[in-house]
Chain A
Amino acid sequence: MTVPNGLRITALAAASCLALTACISGDDQGTDAEGGDDTIRIGISLPLTGDFAEPGKGVQQGYEAWAAYTNENGGLLGRDVELTILDDQSNADRVAADYERLINEDGVDLVFGPFSTRLVIPAAQVAQDYGFLFVEPAGAAPEVFSQGFDNLFYAAPAVADDHYNHLADAIEAMPAAERPQTAAYAAMDDPFAMGTAYGLKARLEAMGVTTVADEVYPPNTTDFSSIAATIASSDADIMVGGSQYQDAVNLILALQQLDYQPRMAAFSTAPTNPEFPEAIGEKTEGILSPTGYTPEADYPSNQEFVEFYTEEYGTAPGEDQANAWTTGQVVAAAVEAVGCADPEPDCQQQLIDWLHENEVETVVGPLSWDADGRPEGAHLIQQYVDGQIRIVLPEDAAEAELIVEKPAW
């Protein structure tokens, strides 16, 4: 049988259109049918696929655990909460469209933020345009707070630049001769990851530590051998990584392959991941990492959180889950105090105003914010000591003593 090409293409196009329409209308019916006055509907967009899929799913688990816990304990204002979670594929254009849709078409009552700075900024802009309160679990870079958002609150103890503050304090407290003299930095080209490394860089340079290598790499980098070669040849005393997860693992292995032995090594995010020691083969001793959360912390609501979460998922929660849960706690505190949860600008403004003026008890400790939404705290510093990741700084929260000279890896 021969059919003219044009006809085939037309037929294909028509069929695709029909299929697409079916999907769209199917979707609409789904959302219309759900949710009445007896539920509070919360709209969220998360990177469930793409670059941030891993932490994105962690945040999703945290949000879902929080919703389940809240509903088991009488809901918010006596109403059940219901989450609508969309996948933005780690794409900044999609995340804005997602929030637009959640607020405009789905008519959600509240929104929670997505994961990571690159997605938080466009999402917060949409929320700002509609006057919505925007509490977010993972946008910690300086850019987030310099956009003039007055509806944004970061639900974690500290912004990216301050993550390493306790470590910088500890190094500053050493006698000058014992401090590291040279430093190498490697940071992912990502506002959060760079923020952590450059926050420490600014502090170290201020106390006279010379920068001998400063590398930035794109998020999709998997071959770190050349970056490692530059750092190894600089032979810096302290190695600082502004990393997410897989980049730190690959970089550490590449550094080991070149036999580079720094006196101190600090990486953001990755070492706190439970898979980290598994991935780099237990040569973790002495590696430092800032963390905004640990299940061991004895804040009042944390124990309940860890118990509930562990029962639900079988493992203790990590930082992503905790920050998501914190987001829920922060919004819930405002909703309970103000007594409303609806999309009306009046109600949203009252929620925003309340958070600007009050402190909230959360699983990461008491949180309060400055006018731009920066939380006013610093991160704990953890270190692998005897094969376990333990809090070593600040001293009053320490579970183990800081190892100053990192053993060879």
Chain B
Amino acid sequence: MSLFVQSLVLGVLLGGLYALLAAGLTLYFGVMRVVMIAHSAFLILAAYLAWVFTRETGLDPLLSMVGTVPLFFVVGVAIQRLLMARLRPATLTMMSVLLTFSIALVIEGMLGWLFTGTQRRVRLPYGGADFEAAGANVAVVKLIAFVLAALSLLALYLLLTRTRFGQALRATIQHPEAARLVGIDTDRTAGYGFGIGLATAAIGGTALALDSTIYPSLHWHWIGPLMAIIVVGGLGSIPGAAIAAMILGIGQALLQIPLNTTWAQTIFYVALFVTLMVRPQGFFGGRLAQRF
């Protein structure tokens, strides 16, 4: 019983992190029909920046977000305006895979060149700390990552539903032509949308760095599950991605009890296949995805 509760708690914490990491990915697709393979490479880049920050200054890695979040936003806008916008609309989705794949390789290569392939870990005084709640041990670092994810998702939700920019962004997602007709500058909106997506990578990467070793090629390990999450959740739907992330995260943690680590990982791909067979537009959102 206690193992079940413990795994459930771990699953919720893991699901929260997945939700944040997948939110940005689904946002790019929603805004621009872009499949952003490099999203997880930017996560790892942010994790490395947090690690370097802590190594050089001795301060908490969370403080590195003061710099990395705005930086990633600007880089995101720049990538959208300078690279993505130049792809032909007719082949945008396909070509964005190639383009972002190359960006991912550039980031991986650069990290390998600068920091070598050695596994790094941010050393934290509270790295092994925990407290007990409801019969389960909750690791402090995992809770921080979860809270960070929850706050960012809440902020993203409020931004999208309560601000004029959010309305413009959602209008751009739903129907770009109509949005242009009512006077929205969809190009600029899409650029900012891309920037916000990349800013979530900065937060997600920092959260990741708190409780995991990092190495340049780690991003390949993440992109598969994240892609599966956004398809299950419905491409372009942020609440859908969050719900799918939570369900799959908990599912993965619970499946490890009867199965082993190797097989528990397959839940993402099983869910992906089932979704494509039964409900290709995704389970929770995704009116959008029907058009593709």
Contact = CB atoms under 8 A, between A and B. Distances in A.
Interface of A: 49-50, 53-54, 57, 189, 215-218, 220-223, 225-227, 229-230, 232-233, 245-246, 249-250, 253-254, 256-259, 278-281, 283, 409
A245 B261 CA distance: 18
A225 B14 contact: yes
Nearest to B132: A259
Contacts of A218: 261-262, 265
**Residue in B2, B7, B128, B253 with the greatest tally of chain A CB atoms within 10 Å:** B128
| Contact residues of A: prevailing secondary structure | helix
A229 B3 CA distance: 7
Interface of B: 2-3, 6-7, 10, 13-14, 112, 116-119, 121, 123-125, 127-130, 132, 137, 139-142, 211-213, 215, 217-218, 221, 252-253, 256-257, 260-262, 264-265
B256 A226 contact: yes
A226 B7 contact: yes
| Contact residues of B: prevailing secondary structure | mixed
27 contacts: A49-B112, A50-B117, A53-B117, A53-B118, A57-B116, A216-B262, A222-B212, A222-B218, A225-B10, A226-B257, A227-B261, A229-B10, A230-B256, A232-B6, A232-B137, A233-B3, A249-B213, A250-B121, A250-B212, A253-B211, A257-B128, A257-B142, A258-B139, A259-B132, A281-B123, A281-B127, A281-B128
**Residue in A216, A226, A281 with the greatest tally of chain B CB atoms within 10 Å:** A226
**Residue in A254, A257, A279 with the greatest tally of chain B CB atoms within 10 Å:** A257
B22 to A, nearest CB: 16
Contacts of B123: 278-279, 281
B260 A215 contact: yes
Given A229-B6, A258-B130, A258-B137, A216 B119 contact: no
Given A54-B119, A233-B2, A226 B213 contact: no
Given A50-B217, A220-B221, A246-B119, A409 B128 contact: yes
Contact of A281 (B10, B116, B125, B212): B125
Contact of A226 (B10, B117, B128): B10
Nearest to B256: A226
B130 A257 contact: yes
